[in-house]
Amino acid sequence: MSGSTAILVSIALPLLGMPFIALASRSPNVREAIGLIAAVLTFGTVLSLLPSVMDGAQPAAHVTDVMSGLSLAFKVEPLGMIFALIASGLWIVTTVYAIGYMRGHHEENQTRFFVFFAFAISAALGVAFARNMFTLFIFYEVLTLSTYPLVTHHRSKEAMRAGRIYMGILMSTSVGFLLLGMVWTWQLTGTLEFAPGGILTGKASEGIVIVLLGLYTFGTGKAALMPFHRWLPAAMVAPTPVSALLHAVAVVKAGVFTIMKVVIYLFGTELLSGAGLSEWLTYIAGFTILVGSLVAMTKDNLKARLAYSTISQLSYIVLGASLANDLGVLGGSMHIVTHAFGKITLFFCAGAILVALHKTEISDMKGIGRQMPFTMFAFLIGSLSIIGIPPFAGAWSKWYLVLAAIEAHRYVAAGVLLMSSLLNVLYLLPIPIYAFFATATNDHHADGLHEAPLACVLPLLFTAAGCLVLYIYPDPVLHLLLMIGGAMP
């Protein structure tokens, strides 16, 4: 399969799976088999692009010109390759997990769930492969709309209210700021193509560059930069697999991925770093990191705590982008990968606890390590990776980010990163520690193994193992990331 076909096929496969999933709604086994096959095929197709991208090629596909000069087109560059691999690869894992979770938790309307899930993955891949900002924006909006039915899955009053916040923030930021920034860029430069070194150099005054950067970063509501972060905790009413894959990986990473792409390929890091035009963003990101962590500490609901932790962690990546040097880009992009594995593990665990023990509040989780040793062990690994302790993957990205901050002489940023690690320890580690060492307060059947279904436990062990493997063997990822911006390693 040629590169351009592979791109189109990988985006089309989840869409093609949708009607079949819908048709098989009467037989859950067939339906889920179809979902799994679609996921595996999609991942396989994305994977088939990897060798050529590793060799420095950039496969491309052109669909159509929507308006003159504005085309719906795709091109695979290293950063997009990584994002696509993560989204499609973890889709397989999440599908397996979702089967266990949705059945174990007796969710209703499972068919609709699997259909829109596939839709969202297709949109995420479109974002990953977008050749220009125009295409990226299209899929960005499709991603918002396709996840709305998932967020509001329960159709309750609460889900409806959460859906309003979700749509309200994501739509108003993208329409009010991102679209404005995009049309403005188009008006200034006559192109929206992602090009190494950026397209804005020499086309816009420093003031306009700062305003545009603001429009892009705040316009990308999915990156959950404060004060536009409220949608993410609201989205937690969704079933856990949605929170795990979409609101820890695909959707939020699409947001920070967009910011990375914009910084690298529209502005160009040189333009931003030269006059310190992105320095203000470093402080906004730093603020979000700290405040996100602090709010996380106050949350007793596990998913809510994880949501605020995600808000904080996403800003690591924004911070990396705002430093606008090679190390910052490397560290930020690396964090897209490492945080994905760590956070999805934590969400899987949260869901497993809900399915097995019906617990959502952290204060009720004392002593559950004896009933769910595998789950809580995975939780520990995920936490350690998020904190950034070797030998887990998170250590790499944090290392590069701190180096980048020092190189850019923004010592405050380095301080923020270290401080945040400390806060991570405080809000994450007590959970597994209490689970293993505290005694349950008033649980009468607190002994004996009581894990979630196997389909839930295996995926979370897998992603936890991923945290370890990525620490020991980060070379392929590093190899790809060093090629970002067109440079050969």
Partner 1 sequence: MIDMHLPILLIVVPLVSAPLCVLLRQKTLVWAFASLVCVASLGLASMLLIRVLEEGVISYAIGGWIAPWGIEYRVDTINAYVLLLVSIIAAVLMFFALPSVVDEVSGKQHYLFYTAYLLCLTGLMGIAITGDAFNVFVFLEISSLSSYTLIAMGRDRRALTASYQYLIMGTLGATFIVIGIGLMYMMTGTLNMFDLSQRLPPMFETRTAMVAFAFLTVGMLIKLAMFPLHMWLPNAYCYAPSLVTAFLAATATKVSIYVFLRFTFTVWGAEFVFEKLNLDIFLIPLSLIGIYVTSLSAIYQTNIKRLLAYSSVAQIGYMMLGIGFVSVTGLTGGIVHLFNHALMKAALFLAAGCVVLRLGSSNLADWKGLGRRMPVTMAAFVLAGLSLIGVPLTVGFISKWYLILAALEAGWWPIALLALLSSLLAVVYVWRVVEVAYFQKADDDSKIKEAPLMMQISMWGLTGATLYFGIQTDLTVNVAQRAAGLLIGVTP
Nearer to partner 1, 129 or 308 (CB): 129
Provide the Cα torsion 23, 27, 32, 38; round to 10°: -30
Over the window 294 to 323, marking each residue x when it contacts partner 1 by CB under 8 A and - when it does not, the resulting string is ------------------------------
488 counts as binding partner 1 under rule CB under 8 A:
no
Annotate 299-328 with b (16+ C-beta within 10 A) or e (fewer). beebbbbbbbbbbbbbbbbbbbbbbbbbbb
Residue at token pair 């420095």: 56
Question: Is 469 among the residues that bind partner 1 (CB under 8 A)?
Answer: no
SS3 of 61, please? strand
Q: Using CB under 8 A, which of the segments 138-146, 256-264, 302-310, 334-342 binds partner 1?
A: 138-146
Through-space distance between the first and last CA atoms of the chain, rounded to whole angstroms: 26
Number of Cβ within a 10 Å radius of residue 395: 21
Q: Is 43 in the site for partner 1 (CB under 8 A)?
A: no
**Residue 180 interacts with partner 1 (CB under 8 A): yes or no:** yes
Residue 22 found at the interface with partner 1 (CB under 8 A): no
Q: Is 156 helix (H, G, I), strand (E, B) or coil?
A: coil
Of 257 and 341, which has the nearer Cβ to partner 1? 257
Segment 46 to 105, residues that bind partner 1, using CB under 8 A = 64, 66-68, 72
CA distances from 29 to 35, 115, 325, 352 (A): 10, 15, 50, 21
User: Of 261, 235, 426, 243, whose CA–CA distance to 336 is shortest?
Assistant: 261
Q: How far is the CB of 66 from partner 1 (least distance, A)?
A: 6
Q: Does 249 bind partner 1 (CB under 8 A)?
A: no
- Binding residue for partner 1, selected from 20, 111, 141, 399, defined by CB under 8 A: 141
Q: What residue type is 84 in one-letter code?
A: A
Based on the shown chain and the rule CB under 8 A, indicate whether residue 205 belongs to the binding site for partner 1.
no
Closest distance of CB 206 from partner 1, Å? 17
Q: What would you measure as the largest C-alpha separation in the chain, in angstroms?
A: 70
Q: 153: burial class by Cβ within 10 Å (0-12, 13-18, 19+)?
A: buried
The b/e string for 57-83 (b: 16+ C-beta within 10 A; e otherwise) is: ebbebeeeeeeeebbbbbbbbbbbbbb
**Those residues with Cβ within 8 angstroms of residue 285's Cβ, 6 or more apart along the chain or in another chain:** 225, 315, 316, 318, 319, 322
- The residues in 318-347 that bind partner 1, with binding defined as CB under 8 A, are none
Please identify, among the stretches 48-56, 79-87, 181-189, 238-246, the one whose residues bind partner 1 according to the rule CB under 8 A.
181-189
* Interacting residue with partner 1 among 16, 50, 167, 482 (CB under 8 A): 167
Position among 8, 30, 50, 179 found at the interface with partner 1 (CB under 8 A): 179
Asked if 187 touches partner 1 (CB under 8 A), the answer is yes
Instruction: Identify residues 147-166 at the interface with partner 1 (CB under 8 A).
Output: 152, 155, 159-160, 163-164
Size of the site for partner 1 (CB under 8 A): 28
Q: Which residues are at the interface with partner 1 (CB under 8 A)?
A: 64, 66-68, 72, 137-138, 141-142, 145, 152, 155, 159-160, 163-164, 167-168, 171-172, 175-176, 179-180, 183-184, 186-187
